[in-house]
Structure 1
Amino acid sequence: MTLSSVLPVAATLGEGPVWSDGRLWFVDIKAARVHCFCPEDGSSRHWDAPDQIGWVLPSVRGDMIAGVKSGLHRFDPASGQFSLLHDPEPRLPGNRLNDAATDKAGRLWFGSMDDGETRMTGRLYRCEAGACRDTGLPPVTITNGPAVTADGQTLYHTDTLGKTIWTVPIHPDGTLGEPVRHIVIEDGAGYPDGSVIDAENCLWVALFSGWGVRRYDPSGRLMHVERFPVANVTKIAFGGDNLATAYATTARKGLDRSALEAQPLAGNLFAFDPRVTGLPVVPAGI
């Protein structure tokens, strides 16, 4: 399967793809919209969110948990309703929630960021058993790419503007150890955005302004680069039969008129063959 645009949504800031219930879910952060794509018949639909929305993830209750600017919400696709569960940052109205992942225990890991992308007010949180806590990692401007290894013992944490991906040990009680610098994206290669781990324990990192996605082995060695015809790739998710297809969200954000003319597919949902399968997403235990 060659890389192709499979859904022409022209998202301003497509993000947060996740495979659930035979469909690919993702969001357009700036349009405050949730999208759902069914590859089997090519159909799609969308819902409006109450504010900027960074992601949706399946919940053990059968609905979804959403990271909205105002906090964690429960999202019911059947009714289209959002209900606030928790605001982790009531004293930071300039922040919004940005990216998230679950681990094998159903813990929810999610980050915040400065919506103006200048202040170092972004933090990473852990939510389990109905309680959300600051993980204590140092603040950054844009948190991104939380991803947890299949054994639940290592967290990948991304400082986007710092172009750095850290590995952080996860203790059995969910607390974190000391972060270790793992991958640094070189100048001119874009900014590390969303990430996900495949069935071989390798990390896929989307590159904003980097025209592609990279695959790194557990030691941090670059193994593969998937090139895109658009500059801003934001995150991939594994879906389809046997989780053998990679779906990628992209963005038009930051592209001027001439760039958009040169990148007519910018903001669309893409798919390609990653030559490896993914891991099933564990529903959030909320």
Structure 2
Amino acid sequence: MPGPVEQACKVGATLGEGPYWSEGEGKLWFVDIKEQKIHCFDPGADRLESWNAPAQPGWIFPTDSGRMVAGLQSGIHMFDPASGSFELLAAPEASEPGNRLNDAVIDRFGAIWFGSMDDGETRATGRVYRFADGKVVATTIAPCAITNGPALSPDGNTLYHVDTLGGSIYACTLGVDGLPISQRRLVTIDPAQGYPDGPSVDSEGCIWIGLFGGWKAHRYAPTGELLDTVSFPVANVTKIAFGGADLCTAYATTAHKGLSAAERAQQPGAGDLFSFRVDVPGLPAPKVALTAS
């Protein structure tokens, strides 16, 4: 059984998101969307390093060239941690200034799958894209107000996409061109249990979901069966990444966005980084291939 949950790092993020375990560094990269911060946590040294971003960041990944790539509200950027500089690579939604990039994953070829969302969280303007070879391709997945994920099955043939406000996790079959060809609703979560946020997949192909407003994370079988529930001391659990030498330490980003003063007083750890041990390890996270096909 997973657990127990412990505070890994005091962050106090308004909207912590996008955890990525950098295996070579032994560090966890993540972002605070609303405070426009990029964070890197070194658990070995118990040290948090932070950078300012010029726009709201949704994710940050290392590349095979040694540089970093970040998804900001203004587009996809190269990021240099040494100088703190950002260089625009692509602006996939320049015609949707009310949108921002939200969540993402790297596939086994080094391409980035990412979603967008309405920053006001009402309009169904969020889309799912793939970024490879310097080009952004929009998928045929139906737009929604808040996309989360995607995440990918271990064999890379199934894409999991979350419609957060719709309370739904979808499984999409990928075709020979690598793009979704079919979609089915895998899980529906009652809003009373929280809203499904970022998904991650472990080495058994099971899907971990953070529940925003739900005080929990869920682990689902690829068939949609609920297998495990992990309780947190904070309400807004956003996403999980698997780290540590054995990939059995689950790191969870959280948020204090939307909490009242009274709720924040009751949840002093809201927005911090948490961790717990799991029996089934995660998968090594690929790096972005700047020439991925």
- What TM-score bracket applies, with the shorter chain setting the length? over 0.9
TM-score (norm 1): 0.98
8 Å CA contact 2:55–2:74 kept in 1: the answer is yes
Give the match for residue 90 of structure 1. Answer: 94
Kindly provide the CA deviation profile for residues 136-163 of structure 1, in whole angstroms up to 9, marking residues without a partner as x. 2111000002101111100000000000
* Aligned-partner SS, 2:246: helix
1:163 aligns with 2:137: no
The letter for the 1-side match of 2:190 is E
Q: Distance in 2 between matches of 1:25 and 1:162?
A: 28
Give the match for residue 132 of structure 1. Answer: 136
Kindly provide the CA deviation profile for residues 137-190 of structure 1, in whole angstroms up to 9, marking residues without a partner as x. 111000002101111100000000000010001123212111111110123110
1:74 aligns with 2:93: no
The letter for the 2-side match of 1:241 is A
Mapping of 1:213-252 within 5 angstroms?
Answer: 213-252=217-256
8 Å CA contact 2:174–2:182 kept in 1: the answer is no
Query: Equivalent of 1:178, from 170, 177, 182?
Result: 182
Q: CA deviation at 1:279?
A: 0.3
Give the match for residue 6 of structure 1. Answer: 8
* Structure 1: 5+ residue stretches without partners: none
Query: Equivalent of 1:32, from 32, 36, 41?
Result: 36
TM-score (norm 2): 0.96
8 Å CA contact 1:103–1:149 kept in 2: the answer is no
Give the match for residue 276 of structure 2. Answer: 272
* Structure 2: 5+ residue stretches without partners: none
The letter for the 2-side match of 1:16 is G
Give the match for residue 48 of structure 1. Answer: 52
Give the match for residue 105 of structure 1. Answer: 109
Q: Distance in 2 between matches of 1:132 and 1:89?
A: 10
Q: Distance in 1 between matches of 2:213 and 2:278?
A: 21
Mapping of 1:146-157 within 5 angstroms?
Answer: 146-157=150-161
How much identity, in percent, do the aligned residues show? 52
* Aligned-partner SS, 1:215: strand
Cα RMSD (Å) of the superposition?
A: 0.9
Give the match for residue 282 of structure 1. Answer: 286
The letter for the 2-side match of 1:15 is E
8 Å CA contact 1:73–1:86 kept in 2: the answer is yes
* Aligned-partner SS, 2:252: strand
Q: CA deviation at 1:47?
A: 0.4
Query: Equivalent of 1:61, from 34, 40, 65?
Result: 65
The letter for the 2-side match of 1:43 is R
Q: Distance in 2 between matches of 1:175 and 1:40?
A: 39
Q: Distance in 1 between matches of 2:31 and 2:135?
A: 25
The letter for the 2-side match of 1:62 is G
Q: CA deviation at 1:105?
A: 1.4
8 Å CA contact 1:25–1:35 kept in 2: the answer is yes
Q: CA deviation at 1:2?
A: 2.8
The letter for the 2-side match of 1:4 is E
Q: Distance in 1 between matches of 2:208 and 2:48?
A: 26
Q: Distance in 2 between matches of 1:128 and 1:52?
A: 22
Kindly provide the CA deviation profile for residues 185-236 of structure 1, in whole angstroms up to 9, marking residues without a partner as x. 1231100000100011100000000101000011110000000010000000
Aligned residue pairs, count: 286
Moved over 6 A (4+): none
Give the match for residue 193 of structure 2. Answer: 189
8 Å CA contact 1:70–1:96 kept in 2: the answer is yes
8 Å CA contact 2:99–2:125 kept in 1: the answer is yes
The letter for the 1-side match of 2:252 is A
Q: Distance in 1 between matches of 2:152 and 2:67?
A: 22
